[in-house]
Amino acid sequence: LAALNDTSATLYGVVTKLARMTSLVEWDLCRKTDDPDQEPEPLTGQQAANAAPLKVWNNPTGGAVPYMTRPFVVAGTQQYKDLCGELWFVVTRFAGIPVQLWPVRPDRMFPIPSATKMIAGYVYRGPDGEEVPLDTSDVITSFSPDSMDWTRGMGPLGALSRDLAQNDAQSAWQAAHFRNSAQPGGLITIGRRLQDTEWDSLMERWRANHQGIQNAGRVAVLEEGEFTPLSYTQRDMQFVESKQLTRDAIFDAY
């Protein structure tokens, strides 16, 4: 997940916009009615202010981490959901009552399979490798089921992996081209074997005069040897079209 922000500006824009929009949603706590056909009644005023579930949801860490407000936590967990198809919370209780909700990275949570109820519990693996067993009641999760493993989620990145890899390779090629390419590009042919000092001198002068963006298009003057320019094919220059296809694929996936 850490590398995704550097992989595609479009992917970053889509995921962060969805997270920001989700974090702006206002939440209500409702009371069920005896009539199943009647909508639940939202709590208002002092009732809502004193409601323990809303207090925890509006201040997930109970002030332990001040910057982790509800919008911040919602945005972060929504990013996880949109990237890898999973979001996780670990519940902290005091006297059996939930008092904190801690968002957890999906790659640190591991379901423990059960022969009778699918999931027996979970294990949280910390940064130092410590494993903490958790009961199913200690964990809140939401995920889009993976067709091969219904205990884990599946996000859009699997379908986008090839498009993103191609986009990354093209960006690296372009960066290397503008950074390292000696323009005009081509071959220098010399009819004899150069001594080491002659070779070093030729390479040093060529790089100084022709390598880099600032020297692109400069006329090459050689004391000896013949320069043969190499042209780029139309296929090499179709990066704009290819990037547009990657962009469309990202939009399609979301």
pLDDT tens-digit profile of 112-129? 999 898 899 999 999 999
Distance (Å, whole) CA 33 – CA 30: 9
Lowest mean per-residue pLDDT among 15-24, 219-228, 242-251: 219-228
Instruction: Provide the pLDDT confidence category of residue 101 given band limits of 50, 70 and 90.
Output: very high
For 225, list phi and psi in degrees, rounded to 5: 95, 170
DSSP state of 142: E
Residue whose pair of structure tokens reads 């950074």 in the numeric block: 179
- If DSSP codes are grouped into helix, strand and coil, which group holds residue 183? coil
Distance (Å, whole) CA 200 – CA 106: 53
CA 106, 108, 113, 114 torsion-angle sign: negative
Bridge partners of 94, per DSSP, are: 97
Give pTM, 2 decimals.
0.70
Contact 220, 179 (CB under 8 A): no
